[in-house]
Amino acid sequence: MTPRAGMLIAAGALVAGTVTVLPAAPAGAGEPAPRPLPPLAWTGCAIKAYPKLQCATLKVPLNHDDPAGRTVTLALSRVPHTAKTFQGPLLVNPGGPGGSGRTMAGYVAASLPPEVAAQYDVIGFDPRGVGKSEPALDCKPGHFAPVRPDSVPRGAEGERAAVQRAQDFADACGKKYADVLPYIDTVSSARDLDVIRRALGAPKINYLGYSYGTYLGAVYARLHPDRVRRMALDSVVNPHGVWYEDNIAQDYAFDTRHKDFMAWVARQDAVYKLGTDPAAVEAAWYRMRDALRAAPAGGKVGPGELEDTFLPGGYYNGYWPRLATAFSAYVNDADAVPLTEAYERYGEADAAADNGYSVYTSVQCRDAGWPRDWNVWRKDSWDVHAKAPFSTWNNAWYNAPCAFWPVDSLTPPDVSNDQVPPVLILQATDDAATPYEGGVALHRLMRGSSLVVEEGGGNHGVTLGGNDCLDEHLATYLATGKVPRAEGDAEVDAVCAALPEPEPEPLAPPAGKQTKGKTAARSLPPRAETVGAAQPKATGTVRAESVGGILHGLLGHVR
Cα–Cα distance between 264 and 396 in angstroms, integer? 27
9 backbone φψ class: left, alpha, beta (φ>0; ψ -120 to 50): alpha
**Is the distance from CB of 33 to CB of 517 less than 8 angstroms?**
no
Catalytic member of 460, 473, 552, 557: 460
pLDDT on residue 2: 36
Average pLDDT over residues 488-496: 95
Question: Is 22 in a helix, a strand, or coil?
Answer: coil
What distances in angstroms separate CA 71 from CA 113, 180, 191, 228, 487, one per listed residue? 37, 10, 13, 25, 49
Whole-prediction pTM value? Answer: 0.89
Say yes or no to pLDDT of 278 above 90: yes
What distances in angstroms separate CA 16 from CA 11, 282, 382, one per listed residue? 13, 49, 49
List, for residues 42-96, the tens digit of each pLDDT value.
999 999 999 999 999 999 999 999 999 999 999 999 999 999 999 999 999 999 9
Say yes or no to pLDDT of 518 above 90: no
Cα–Cα distance between 127 and 192 in angstroms, integer? 8
Say yes or no to pLDDT of 229 above 90: yes
Count of residues for the chain?
559
List, for residues 280-289, the tens digit of each pLDDT value.
999 999 999 9
**Is the distance from CB of 1 to CB of 395 less than 8 angstroms?**
yes
Question: Is 87 in a helix, a strand, or coil?
Answer: coil
Catalytic member of 211, 235, 358, 362: 211
pLDDT on residue 551: 58
Does 224 participate in catalysis according to the annotation? Answer: no
Does 133 participate in catalysis according to the annotation? Answer: no
pLDDT on residue 547: 60
Average pLDDT over residues 264-270: 98
Q: Long-range contacts made by residues 435-440, C-beta under 8 angstroms, separation at least 24? A: 435/238, 435/249, 435/250, 435/253, 437/238, 437/249, 438/214, 438/236, 438/237, 438/238, 438/239, 438/241, 438/246, 439/235, 439/236, 440/491
User: What does DSSP say about strands 205-210 and 228-234: parallel, antiparallel, or unpaired?
Assistant: parallel
Q: Which residues contact 309 (CB under 8 A, 6 or more apart)?
A: 4, 301, 323, 326, 339, 342, 343, 346, 347
Residues β-bridged to residue 75: 57, 126
pLDDT on residue 550: 56
**Mean pLDDT for the chain?**
88
Catalytic member of 192, 308, 431, 471: 431
**Is the distance from CB of 318 to CB of 546 less than 8 angstroms?**
yes
- For residues 217, 222, 227, 233, the Cα torsion angle rounded to the nearest 10 degrees is 30
**Is the distance from CB of 211 to CB of 460 less than 8 angstroms?**
yes
What distances in angstroms separate CA 142 from CA 71, 150, 365, 458, 532, one per listed residue? 28, 17, 20, 31, 27
List, for residues 433-479, the tens digit of each pLDDT value.
999 999 999 999 999 999 999 999 999 999 999 999 999 999 999 99
User: What does DSSP say about strands 450-455 and 89-93: parallel, antiparallel, or unpaired?
Assistant: unpaired
Say yes or no to pLDDT of 8 above 70: no
H or E element: which one contains 320? Answer: helix 320-333
For residue 78, the one-letter residue type is: R
What distances in angstroms separate CA 11 from CA 103, 117, 142, 287, one per listed residue? 6, 20, 21, 39
pLDDT on residue 549: 55
Average pLDDT over residues 402-423: 98
pLDDT band at 515 (very low <50, low <70, confident <90, very high): very low
Does 211 participate in catalysis according to the annotation? Answer: yes
* Max Cα–Cα distance, the chain, nearest Å: 79
Least confident of 123-127, 141-145, 518-522: 518-522
Say yes or no to pLDDT of 238 above 80: yes
First-to-last C-alpha distance (Å) of the chain: 8
461 backbone φψ class: left, alpha, beta (φ>0; ψ -120 to 50): left
List, for residues 330-367, the tens digit of each pLDDT value.
999 999 999 999 999 999 999 999 999 999 999 999 99
Higher pLDDT, 18 or 503: 503
**Side-chain half-sphere exposure of 234, counting CA atoms within 13 A:** 26
Cα–Cα distance between 101 and 213 in angstroms, integer? 10
Say yes or no to pLDDT of 200 above 60: yes
Higher pLDDT, 531 or 164: 164
